[in-house]
Structure 1
Amino acid sequence: MKTIYAIAFSLILFTSCNKGKDQRIIPGSNGNINNLLVVVDNLLWDDSVGETIRDVVAASIPLLSPEEPVFSLNQMPPMVFEGFATKNRIILKIEKGGEAGVVIKNDVYARPQTVAVVSGKTDKEINDQLQINGDKIIAAFKKEELKENQRRIRISLMDDGALQESLGVKLNFQTAYRIAKQEKDFFWIRKDIPTGTMDIMIYEVPLNAIKKGDSTIIDIIRMRDSIGEVHIPGPVEGSYMITEDAYTPYLYETTVDGKPTFETRGIWDVKNAFMSGPFINYAIEDKANSRFVVIEGYVFSPSVEKRNNIFELEAIIKSIRIK
């Protein structure tokens, strides 16, 4: 009997050891938010392939002043792509010589990580793949960076009990923010930054306040301007936040918390004062409670880059959960 137990124990030990050898130990990824490592041969980088890469993943983000790219790029030739460099969280690899195509991979060299591999036999094939699949590649990288931003936010969370009690929503935002104004169905949350402020507004409006169709953007502008007049005063008497009418906002349909949502991106302005900046507004359809939950993030930071500020606000907004 002892012999049988000994054999069984040896088999379990042997199997466990072999299983352990098959499993890779993947290190943690690193990198600044929205910093993309591009692994491509120097000759390709300096030629048309490099131009296409910059046009696709480093295009200017609409409505930001000064202009900023979707991603900040760091280029590296394949021969030195090893060690610490492989741990970057988002990586674009260009491989010349193989069949034309794009493959999105996860956790290849580190975790979490997204790697987009673009291949083609010629420069033209690679350029075509980048242009055809540009939106897909950008979406994959943004998804990874959004998760990372939300992970960092969760490290130091503010108590959102007041939001849950008044509006029935849960939101993850850092203790660096403060509730500047609270009313029954309106919250104004602010964070001071060295060059200005980052702000979030949360409120509710009836379902009939925003109609789907040609008037949607008009309804949203009218809604946010009325909220700005009542709740967001400017620096001088009689001034308040409005939507800048010189720039037509961008309107998209998306989902937040699994619910149909209107996403609006534009420029805010202050009536009778010289202040402006970018905003992102999400009107979330909450049919169960016969309302839209509206949550908006905006930045005031004159003459300073604001891409990562807006991205942080987007990460906070997309953490919302409606009861």
Structure 2
Amino acid sequence: MNNKMWFRHVFLAILSLVLVSCKQQPEMEAKPTSPINSLAIAINDQLWTGEIGDSLRKKFAAPVDGLPQEEPLFTIQQFPIKLFDTHKNQNTNLILIKKEEKSRYKLVKNKYLKPQNLVVISGNSIPEILNYIEQNGDSLIRIFKETEIKRNQDLINENLLSDEKIRKKFKVSLNVPNTFQYVLEKPNFIWMKKEILSGNTSIIIYKVPFKALLKDNNIVTNITRMRDVVGSKYIKGKDNNSYMITEESYAPYFDITVIDKKRTYETKGTWELKGDYMSGSFINYAILNRKKREFIVIEGFCYAPSTSKRDLMMELEAIIKSVQFL
């Protein structure tokens, strides 16, 4: 065999190995580049400036519960349908709306990216499209939000703070980014804080007896009272006589949910320092541990007077929802 033939055989052998190797390796999954809490809507301008656009803005740009200033659920970016191919490979949450003969509503998961929610709505009349938006809007908000929570958690999990102290004290694990640090530890209380350019964000954990929140069937009042007691004891201002309380001017948002398969009371609202001028937002989860007849309470709050708070509170919510009972 001459040199040319030998070289050709070797080259083909190497090429076949490379091709086999490439086939065996899974394709890299593309990830969204869109900001957290964003929503891209592909819809032509004529529909966007009319009733359909009004309905979409009313639903998906509604104010977030529990913030002192109005901020939208999602930051909406609208673009004409002809640009859909450009945006489909960038956005996590994407709605495509067309007026055409075919009538349909479809939610497709992870078609172009992972994670991604692609919603396709079409109808042969404006009332038909509006009906799809009205019927499915609330469930889509929940799905979009769950996806954004998961995106936050994926970012958080890249660099974690040790939760050994939390595990030992409360028998739960919690994924907290290492941008936080422990600032106060007591027998039944832990406070972690992260400094940001415009202030700081915090996570606190403590537990309370079963009856503390369930007595008199007035859970919201009991949670507010519990927060104020904990705040007066541990969350102090520069002056030791100033401490955190629940702001009375705004009625807190309340809901019942499930975290780690356990009944959980969710409370959102605003806090203030009694005797000072500081204030901000909080999100409080009281998680029922029936076996021990107690609640594990995990709360996130922020002080960010010169910036929006929606995304800061979303990160705190994502941290809290990573909790697992050991």
Tell me the TM-score normalized by structure 1: 0.89
**Matched ranges for 1:34-73 at <5 A:** 34-73=37-76
| Matched residue type, 2:293 | S
1:28 corresponds, among 18, 31, 35, to 31
Equivalent of residue 285 in structure 1, options 274, 279, 288: 288
Q: Answer yes or no: is the 8 Å Cα contact 1:65–1:303 preserved in 2.
A: no
Task: Label 1:164 to 1:86 Cα distance change in 2 as closer, same or farther (>3 A).
Answer: same
Do the aligned partners of residues 254 and 73 (structure 1) sit closer, same or farther apart at CA in structure 2, a change above 3 Å counting? same
Distance across 2 between alignment mates of 1:250 and 1:265: 5
Query: Superposed, which structure 2 residues align to 1:130-149 within 5 Å?
Result: 130-149=133-152
Partner amino acid, structure 1, of 2:266: E
**Secondary structure, counterpart of 2:214 in structure 1:** coil
C-alpha distance in structure 1 between counterparts of 2:28 and 2:319, whole Å: 31
Correspondence for 2:97: 94
The farther-off stretch of 301-310 and 103-112 is 103-112
Name the CA shift for 1:118/1:231 in 2 (closer, same or farther; >3 Å). Answer: same
Structure 1 pair 95–220 and aligned structure 2 pair: CA distance change class (3 A): same
Per mean C-alpha deviation after superposition, the further-off stretch among 80-89 and 103-112 is: 80-89
Alignment of 1:124 with 2:127, yes or no, is yes
Equivalent residue letter for 2:255: Y
After superposition, the CA RMSD in angstroms is 2.1
Change (3 A) 1:291 1:98: farther
Residue 85 of structure 1 and its aligned partner are, at CA, apart by 4.0
**Alpha-carbon separation, structure 2, partners of 1:28 and 1:197:** 29
Q: In the alignment, is residue 272 of structure 1 matched against residue 275 of structure 2?
A: yes
Partner of 1:297: 300
- Paired residues, what number? 305
Q: Distance in 2 between matches of 1:65 and 1:222?
A: 20
Distance of aligned partners of 1:315 and 1:57 in 2 relative to their CA distance in 1, 3 Å threshold? same
TM-fit CA distance, 1:24: 8.9
1:113 aligned partner, one-letter code: Q
The alpha-carbon deviation at position 90 of structure 1 amounts to 1.1
- Match for residue 4 of structure 1? none
Q: 1:98 to 1:214 in 2, by over 3 A?
A: farther
1:115 match: secondary structure: strand
Q: How does 1:137-286 map to 2 (within 5 A)?
A: 137-211=140-214, 214-286=217-289
For 1:251, the aligned partner's letter is F
Deviation at 1:52, TM superposition (A): 1.0
SS of alignment partner, residue 296 of structure 1: strand
Q: Is the 8 A contact 2:89 2:112 kept in 1?
A: yes
Q: Secondary structure at the match of 1:211?
A: helix
Matches within 5 A, 1:9-28: 27-28=30-31
Q: Deviations over 1:108-134 (max 9, x none)?
A: 122221112223221122122212221
Q: Distance in 2 between the 1:263 and 1:166 partners?
A: 22
Q: What is the identity, as a one-letter code, of the residue corresponding to 1:55?
A: K
Question: Closer, same or farther in 2 for the Cα pair 1:48/1:84, shift >3 Å?
Answer: closer
Deviates more, 1:25-34 or 1:305-314: 25-34
Gaps of 5+ in 2: 1-19
Matches within 5 A, 1:107-122: 107-122=110-125
Q: CA deviation at 1:239?
A: 0.8
One-letter identity of the residue aligned with 1:104? L
- Rounded to whole Å, the distance in 2 between the matches of 1:235 and 1:67 is 29
Shift of residue 100 of structure 1? 5.0
Quick one: distance in 1 between partners of 2:291 and 2:253? 27
Distance 2:82 2:297 in 1: 49
Matched letter for residue 280 of structure 2:
G
- For the 8 Å contact 2:68–2:270, the answer to whether it is kept is no
Deviation at 1:101, TM superposition (A): 4.9
Give 1:64 shift: 2.0
Q: Which moved more, 1:285-294 or 1:79-88?
A: 79-88
User: SS of 2:271's equivalent?
Assistant: strand
Structure 1 pair 233/24, CA: closer, same or farther in 2 (3 Å)? closer
Match of 2:325 in 1: 322
Contact 2:66/2:253 (CA < 8 Å) preserved in 1?
no
